[in-house]
Structure 1
Amino acid sequence: MKYLFILVSLLIGTVSFAQTDQEKAQANNPLAKITAFNLQQYYAPNLTGNDEATSSTYWLRYAKPTGRVLWRASLPFSTYSNPETGISSSGLGDFDLFAAYLAVSKPTLSFGIGPSVSAPTATHSTLGTGKWTLGAAAVAFASVSPQFQTGGLVIWRTDVGGDMNREEVNILAFQPFAFWQVGNGVYFRSAPTWNFNLEKGTYNVPLGVGLGKVIKIKKTVCNFFIEPQYSVLHYGDNQPLFQLYSALNMQF
């Protein structure tokens, strides 16, 4: 994914695509009432507990509005390797679904809230929880100006069924985000996800600053970005000390 971003950035640097300021600002809006498909990757070359352990997760995300409800389905494909323990696995993770009721849907402010659920679809025990989980999520997006957008996403879930031999699940995730448009579809960004395992007491709080580019190809708005993230607070094993977040997000 990171090489795709670099290649496309070099190519589009010499090409001009017509796009409005509103399209550029809304390209990062997770509540945009537009059908979207995202290809995202988190690559972590260093994990706590073992410097040689690595992880990589590709997320396939599809969003579809139906009336005032925006559906977002996500499926991860992960690879985890720990030479010290000899554990290495690749495959599907747990399927994730979020239904956001758009309580506010304006060009300058969007707010959605609704249920969040995950299914134990992981093909290996290290790649999923082995549990059905249920909870709630809320997300807000504010376009303060054509140059600056901000907001945040919060998700809480706990297990409601599944493998009785697996650990119980009680997780909280918060993703603050901010975007600064600098012109010609280029923008600076920060969108780290802070993860808290309330059951085990482990956590990871990264910070990051990245670069993105928004272009429009015919009727599709394409958003390419790459964002290095560094953990400033963490506790527990297998927490990323550094990770590279990159993606191609498309709105149709």
Structure 2
Amino acid sequence: MAICLALFLSSLGTAAHAQDADELAKQLSNPVASLISVPLQLNWDDGLGPDDDGSKAYLNVQPVIPISISEDWNLISRTIIPIVYQEDVVPGAGSQFGTGDVLQSFFFSPKAPTSSGWIWGIGPVLYLPTASDDLLGAEKWGAGPTAVVLKQTHSGWTYGALVNHVWSFAGDDDRADISNTFLQPFVSKGLGQGRTATVNLESTYDWKSEQWTVPINFGYSKVSKIGRQLVSYQGGVRYYIEAPDSGAEWGLRFVFTLLFPKH
């Protein structure tokens, strides 16, 4: 009898953990969820440079911090801090290693979805010239607007888009000005037990050079635990549908995310 009771309680715990994992996976699919997370996104791109023999590995440290600013509104801080190693990307320059330029976004987002279920946020984005090497950054200060809109269904689907535009307003006069639009449509499907399949386009249009860069990313993630720490693992590949002549052809991505849900 005691063994049966123990097995029953264990099954309840397993089911509760699966439900918690699914809820965290759902929140991770929402860029403006009320969830503190620290994604460590490792990327590798190949086929860079004029001779297509360059490569780049970069780790994006991307803390996401939601702040309650009123009964009905959150302020979501999303930061991208790149740490880059690249080789044979710039002809004759060899390899470079260091930090890149930081992108800082703030989203003002209602805590509750709209009556039709849409979740949205809007705010400013800042481009900060923090690169440790001239060849790893633009040496420009930039700013602009950013927005996100998405919907999550009871069947596990999340779909929406994130957009921003950055104009440079100060910096090295000898470097090219920035006027870039970033558009990221995304769709994901919760598969149960904290698992999610994701597809997105991280499209950038450079208005100065009139050039699109359009990688399509395919990813698979799972929420898990390391001891008491909740984490998420994601692995994926990407293919560049459109890129400059010196741009990448394909790449890989692995994301390890630390999760700090509210209790």
TM-score range, shorter chain: 0.7 to 0.9
The residue aligned with 1:106 is 113
- What TM-score comes out, normalization by structure 2 length? 0.82
User: What residue identity is the alignment partner of 1:138?
Assistant: A
Offset of residue 85 of structure 1: 2.5
Q: Does 1:80 align with 2:80?
A: no
Residue 25 of structure 1 aligns to a residue in which SS?
helix
The Cα of 1:48 is off from its aligned counterpart by 5.3
Q: Which has the larger radius of gyration?
A: 2
Query: Which of residues 194, 203, 206 is equivalent to 2:215?
Result: 206
**Counterpart amino acid of residue 101 in structure 1:** F
Aligned twin of 2:250? 242
Residues 110-119 or 76-85, more deviating: 76-85
Worse-superposed segment, 142-151 or 124-133: 142-151
**Aligned counterpart, 1:25:** 26
Which of 162, 166, 170 aligns to 1:161? It is 170
1:52-201 aligned within 5 A: 52-67=53-68, 68-82=74-88, 84-103=91-110, 105-106=112-113, 109-201=118-210
**Unmatched 5+ residue regions in structure 1?**
1-15
Does 1:225 pair with 2:234?
yes
Deviates more, 1:222-231 or 1:178-187: 178-187
Q: CA deviation at 1:64?
A: 1.3
**CA RMSD, Structure 1 to Structure 2 (Å):** 2.2
Q: Is the 8 A contact 2:168 2:178 kept in 1?
A: yes
Query: Deviation at 1:235?
Result: 2.9
Letter aligned with residue 75 of structure 1: I
Deviations 1:9-34 (CA, angstroms, capped at 9, x unpaired): xxxxxxx6814232231122211112
Q: Secondary structure at the match of 2:243?
A: strand
Partner in structure 1 of residue 7 of structure 2:
none
1:81-116 deviation per Cα after TM superposition (whole angstroms, max 9, x unaligned): 117524311100112211100046439542111000
Query: Secondary structure at 2:189's aligned position in 1?
Result: strand
**Counterparts of 2:227 and 2:30, CA distance in 1:** 20
Matching residue of 1:6: none
Unaligned residue ranges in structure 2 (runs of 5+): 1-13, 69-73
Could you give the per-residue CA deviations for residues 171-217 of structure 1, whole angstroms, max 9, x where no partner exists? 11111111112222222111231121111122211223222112256
Q: Which residue number corresponds to residue 38 of structure 1? A: 39
C-alpha spacing 1:217/1:145, structure 2 compared with 1 (3 Å): farther
C-alpha contact 1:103 1:113 (8 A) present in aligned 2: no
Structure 1 229/157 Cα, relative in aligned 2: closer, same or farther at 3 Å? same
Following the alignment from structure 2 to structure 1, what is the Cα–Cα distance between the partners of residues 164 and 229?
29
C-alpha distance after superposition, 1:194-245 (max 9, x if no partner): 12111112221122322211225677542211111111222342x2210112
Question: Separation in 2 of the partners of 1:219 and 1:136?
Answer: 38
